[in-house]
Amino acid sequence: MELAITVQKILAVDAGGTTTRAAVIDASGLCLGYGTAGGGNPVSAGYDGALAAVAAAAEAAVAGSGLEHHTISSALVAMAGVTLRMRPAAIAQQLVALGLHGAVEIEADLLAMFHSGTHRSYGSVLIAGTGSVAARITDGRLDLVADGTGWLLGDTGSGYWIGHRVARAVVASLDGRGPPTALTALMLAELHMEVRPARLHGRPLVLLDLIDALYNLRPVELSRFAPLAFEAGGQDPVAARIVTAAASALAGTLDAVRDQQVQGPVVIGGSVARAVLAAPPAVAAPLHAALGHDEVIQVEDGLIGAAVLGLRRAGIPVDGDVFERLQKTVARFRDAARSATKKAPTK
C-alpha cells in the first residue's frame, strides 16, 4: 500500500555552531534532499554569517530534492542563541529565492535535539559540545532549562570547560606547580611545538611559547584541547580527573532540570557528552549514576528534530512510523554525502 503524500514540502534546518544541516521533507516524513554548510549559530558565526550558512545549506537541500520553484510550503530553523539576534523575516528573505512561499519559524536547538531522539513529548535532553545545556521537555515544549550560559559564566562539563582545564594542567606541569601528565606531549603536538630545554628569565622557553599561543586564542577556542583529555584519560591520572569532573558537572546540569513526575527518555547530544558516556566506566561514573536506569538515546545532531517540529508546526502529525521514516531517509542522504566527501579528490 502506497503512502498518501500531500503537496506540502517542509524545509528543516539545524543551524549548529560548527555545521548547518538542512533537509527537504514531505508530509510522510520522507527526506527528499539534504545539504550542509558552515556554522549557523548567530552568537559564534555572527548575524550575517549565520544567515549565509542557513541559506547555503537550504540551497543544497532544495537542489538535491529536484523540486520545482515555489514548492517549499514552510521552513523551521533550529538554532542556539535564538532569542538573541535572529529574526524569522530575515531568514525568509534569504529562502524566497529557493522556492519558499510559506512561513519561517525559529525554534531552540534544545527542542530539536530532543526530537531527533524521539517523537514523544516528555523527557529531558542534555547537550555538551563546545558549550553545555540541559532541558526538561513537557508536552513538546521547553519547560525548564539549565546552563548554556557561555564560557565565562557556565557551560560546565563542555568542550571549552574541559579544554580550559587541559591547558591549565599542562601549564602547571611545565611550571612545576602540577604533576607530570601525558597531556603535555599531546598539547604540544597539537600546537606543533617542541620541548626546548633552554630557559629565559628562569622559565622554560616551551612554557613561554605555550603561554603566548594560548593567549592568542579566543577563550572558546580552548575547546580544541578537549579531545586530548579523552585520548589520555584511560592511562593518565590528571586527564582522568578532568573527565570525571566533567561527568560530574554534566550530571549536575541534568539533575537541575529533571523531575521524577516527567516520564520519558533522556536524549544525549553533542560530541563531548557522547565522549563522556563512552569513557571508561570508572571515569564516567558520575554521569552514568545520574542517568540510572532511564532510557538513554544518543543523537548526532538536531536535524531530524527540526523536521519533526517543522511537520508539527504545519499541522502534520508525527507518529512512530513517520519518525522512523525520517530517521532512515535522512541517514541515507547523510551517509551518501559523507561517502561523496571521502571520495572527493584532495587538492
In a domain, 25, yes or no: yes
Residues 6+ apart with CB under 8 A from 280: 233, 234, 240
In terms of domains, do 185 and 235 share one?
yes
CATH number at residue 227: 3.30.420.40
Quick count: other Cβ atoms within 10 Å of Cβ 336? 12
pLDDT in tens, 167-201: 999 999 999 999 999 999 999 999 999 877 788 88
Q: Would the pTM of this model clear 0.85, i.e. be above it?
A: yes
Neighbours of 1 (CB within 10 A): 3
C-alpha cell at 205: 622557553
Q: Quick one: CA torsion of 9, 11, 12, 13, rounded to 10 degrees? A: 170
151 within some domain: no
What is the rounded average pLDDT of the residues 86-113?
Answer: 81
Both 172 and 243 in one domain: the answer is yes
Backbone angles phi, psi at 248, to 5 degrees: -65, -40
pLDDT band at 4 (very low <50, low <70, confident <90, very high): very low
Q: DSSP for 17-30?
A: SS-EEEEEEETTS-
pLDDT digits (tens, 9 = 90+) for 226-274: 999 999 977 899 999 999 999 999 999 999 999 888 889 999 999 999 9
Domain-located, residue 262: yes
- For 180, the domain range is 159-298
Contacts of 105 (CB under 8 A, 6+ apart): 74, 75, 76, 77, 88, 309, 310, 313
pLDDT digits 0-9 by tens, 265-294: 999 999 999 999 999 999 999 999 999 889
Whether residues 165 and 98 fall in one domain: no
The tally of domains found in the chain comes to 2
